[in-house]
Chains A and B, each alone.
Chain A
Amino acid sequence: MIPVVETGVVDGVTVLRSASATGRNAAALVFRVGRFDETLPVAGVTHLVEHLTLSTGQRASYQFNAEVSGRFTAFFMESADPADTADFITTACRGLAGDHRQGLEQEKRILRTEAASRGGAGALGACLNERYGASGPGLAAYPEYGLHRLGWAEVEAWRRSWFTAGNAVLWISGTVPDGLRLDLPPGPAPAAAPLRPLGLTLPGFAPGGRGGIGLSLTGRLSDAASVTLDILQRRLAQMLRHERGLSYDVAQARERLDGDIFHAWLTADALPEQTSSVAHAMLTVFESLAGHGGTDEEVAEYARRLRDGYESPAGPVMILHRQAQDVLYGRPAREPAKILWAAGQVGPEAVSDAARQLLGQMIVATPQLVPAIQGRMPQLPAWSATTVSGVIRRSRDSAASLTTGSLGVMLTPEEGRHVTVCFDAMAALLCWNDGQRTLVGTDGFAVRLDPGEWPDGDAVVRSVEALVPPGLVVTIDSPGPERPPRDQAPAAAPPPVAGTSPARPRVWPRILRGLCFAVVAFGILAIAGGDVSDGIAFVVIGVLAVACQQLWAQRRVRRGR
């Protein structure tokens, strides 16, 4: 039987309830705030609030946890005793109101440890970064830089604005406990910043990821889109795994980017020698679906599986969580029966339209250049379209040049290829403890500044810092990314990762030059002491050595080494 959802209000908070399919109580207190609501300098603040909330040290005898996704933060629990639900909600609300300044540094350390063991967002994060730069969903590509910066005042302010009664929904699968209280600060749901997709020409591809192919798809939430993605995944699994034996896993993950827009991440793993074949097969299947749509049987199978899901033991939780998200976005919560009916009405044309729309907005992540993808779409821009003018400096290490002006900073690794960050479109300035700086633009392009690489490097860094608003500065107590080897031109800095090994400054040429000058000085001293012939010899040798070294260094620069 499909669960029925009842709606109520407790202490100004919307409460959704359905009967439990297992006889046990499950509940979640859900807030409409997540990583995509943050900015780069405070990235991780929601995660920090989530950790601090449940950091009271009390050991509960029931199962509980919490999670921060792109747009939602959920505190959830499960127990046979309804009284535990009341206890958990009370604990969560108390945690959200508590003063955690004492435990702040400890939780930040725990979160950095968690991040280190979890690893990065990989190709999925890279695709979101391509779409949105260093804002909104694009933040998924970055470490939680806020953990290096946030003080209690900022954390508390964030909590006060987002974790309010008007921005929360409690759902309970099972029995509503007696005396349930939701002691949250009053306040409306804050308006979410609108999505700011970059003006990319899509579809396009981006080299990245370790193996296999990833399809980044966005579209408007609709029954047709859900049916289409399900059919696509099943067709791909059938072909790539069962018929051809090219992939082990064809997976799909979907997430809301805002009230109307979703992002789907469809992946197929592949051996390196099969990557091209897998990519071609994936796109051929996708194009076929866009051309011909799905079959009635496929739509009916989707509806049947959806019904099975609703009627399964996990059904109530699935329905309640989805409805909670709808409520938090101010959308009418749809009854499962209506969703099932609507899914069954999706016809081949609607599937075809949805597939075409998804194809048209697609980004393909590939581990390397794949001919079957290159033949279908262009590579996404790897260089900035904008340039700035100003003082130009030549790198000591490579053929690159650095332009610093009043409008921004531009790195030019080679003629015609620029990475530009404008001061009026900056997401963050990362200050590493070895003196390096990374300027991250809102478009996701980043310029790394190593003072040792540029003439007057320290002055350059100071002048840049003076133009960046303090709210964008993140000071990181670890060395910056290692400088690329001297025979490689510097490129756009990747999304920087904290904790990499320190840069190795170029010291040996300076030592050599110092020795040469010492030889000259020794010669002069010898002349002054009366040993004119030997002194002149030392001076000549020293001067020649300096000249040779200088010539050699200039030659290296000209050759771009």
Chain B
Amino acid sequence: MALFKRPRPAAAPPPQPAAAPPKGPPVDPLAGDAVAHRFRAELAEGRWQEFHDFLEATRDWTSRDFYLSRLADITGRPAWLDEWAAARPGSPLPWLFRGQHGVFWAWQARGSGRASTVAQDTWPVFYARLVDADRDLARAAAMDDEDPTPHARSIQAALGLDLGQTEKHKRFGEAARRFRWHRSAHTIMIQATAAKWSGSNQEMFEFARGSSAEAPEGSGVHVVVPLAHLEKWLNLPRESGDGEARQLQYFRDGQVRAEIWRAADRSVRSPRYQPDQYTPSDRNIFTMCFFLMQDYQAQLEQMRLIGPLIEASPWKYHGDPGRAYEQARTRALQVIGMAQGSGSHRAP
């Protein structure tokens, strides 16, 4: 028998599971494209043959880029990629697809966080996958001199391998020489010229503004302007001590708003806008900017056009993309409702 009894601590209440915030509507990474959905199901079972034929017949470079990039985003390394390459050695397509997958696969190892969040032993894996991806993309490029896709996609490999701004611009130049208004080549270059990938705000905006100034009305390339502003906005807290305060004000700046409006008027809001597979992406990007600019009429106008085709990017910057999208919509409706009740609301 113990001489002294320690007071038994009161039983702690069982931990209550944190109430999960309600999920928003689903996000479709295939942008509602029925063809893409069909091929994704086939590829999931290792059946690449029909997709090969489809991709081979697709010489519209925007479409090829869309199906390639959206369907190659597969977790892990499927064995059928090598089987495809072995079965069609004379075709650039298996190398193109495997190269694009290699880029995604590399980032699966690295994660999407800042470099400081990456474990030391992860870097060699990340780099090795990028080197392999770059070899595949170079091989695809050598086999089809007309196709801008491998050049555009290889910018991502150059970015991860830290090959420098000269190399990134060279690769962009190769893509643009084959298709001047290649949307993905332009949007990837926003990342490639950003400060976090050895570029700078100045370089990024020079590229974005220059591209938008030259792009024809109705082109999806104008999306580089809101993308550049979103990139800068995201990075503000790391730039200075008052970054978070500046972030709150960023999209209320008159020049920022004017630039985004000008880009929107020349693309998603233009009667000459040419819809394609990337249209949901274009509209989601502009919509989030309108939301941050508190231009709720324009935001809701784009949301009506988006319908159910919510894209993960850029809403993921606010957490769950579907929920962020819904919250933005609710906020806009509330403000518009109040405005209608008390007077008027006018978009600039």
Contact = CB atoms under 8 A, between A and B. Distances in A.
Given A244-B170, A277-B166, A374 B138 contact: no
Given A375-B124, A378-B124, A277 B164 contact: yes
Interface in A248-264: none
Interface in B283-298: none
B166 A374 contact: no
Interface string B194-222: 00000000000000000000000000000
B164 A375 contact: no
A247 B313 CA distance: 40
Contacts of B138: 284
A273 to B, nearest CB: 6
B42 interface: no
A19 to B, nearest CB: 49
Contacts of B131: 372, 375-376
B127 A273 contact: no
Nearest to A378: B124
B162 A371 contact: yes
A371 B161 CA distance: 5
B160 interface: yes
Contact of B167 (A277, A370, A371, A376): A277
B250 to A, nearest CB: 30
Give the interface SS of chain B, mostly helix, strand, loop or mixed. helix
Contacts of A274: 164, 166
A156 interface: no
A283 B192 CA distance: 23
B17 to A, nearest CB: 40
Contacts of A284: 134-135, 138
A280 B160 CA distance: 12
A277 B167 CA distance: 7
Nearest to A271: B164
B131 to A, nearest CB: 4
B161 A376 contact: no
A284 B133 CA distance: 12
A126 interface: no
Contact of A277 (B123, B124, B134, B163): B163
Interface in A343-375: 370-372, 374-375
Given A244-B166, A246-B166, A284-B138, A276 B128 contact: no
**Which of the four size classes fits the interface of chain B?**
20 to 34
Interface string B157-184: 0001111101100100000000000000
A316 to B, nearest CB: 44
B71 interface: no
B196 to A, nearest CB: 15
Contact of B164 (A276, A374, A376): A276
Nearest to A369: B123
A244 B162 CA distance: 17
B130 interface: yes
A276 B158 CA distance: 10
A246 B129 CA distance: 25
B127 A375 contact: yes
A126 to B, nearest CB: 22
Contact of A376 (B123, B128, B162, B170): B128
A287 interface: yes
B170 A276 contact: no
A280 B163 contact: yes
Contacts of A372: 127, 131, 161-163
Given A280-B161, A284-B138, A375 B166 contact: no
Interface in A284-324: 284, 287
B160 A371 contact: yes
Contacts of B167: 277, 280
Interface string B128-146: 1111101100100000000
Q: Looking at A273, A277, A287, which has the most chain B CB atoms within 10 Å of its CB? A: A277
Interface string A192-234: 0000000000000000000000000000000000000000000
B162 A374 contact: no
Interface of B: 123-124, 126-132, 134-135, 138, 160-164, 166-167, 170
Interface of A: 244, 246, 273-274, 276-277, 280, 284, 287, 370-372, 374-376, 378
15 contacts: A244-B166, A273-B164, A274-B166, A276-B161, A277-B167, A280-B161, A371-B130, A372-B162, A374-B123, A374-B127, A375-B124, A375-B130, A375-B161, A376-B128, A376-B131
Given A246-B166, A287-B135, 15 more contacts: A274-B166, A276-B163, A277-B166, A284-B134, A371-B123, A372-B131, A372-B161, A372-B163, A374-B123, A374-B124, A375-B124, A375-B126, A376-B127, A376-B128, A378-B124
Q: Which 5 A-B pairs rank lowest in CB-CB distance, beginning with the nearest?
A: A375-B127, A375-B131, A375-B128, A277-B164, A277-B163
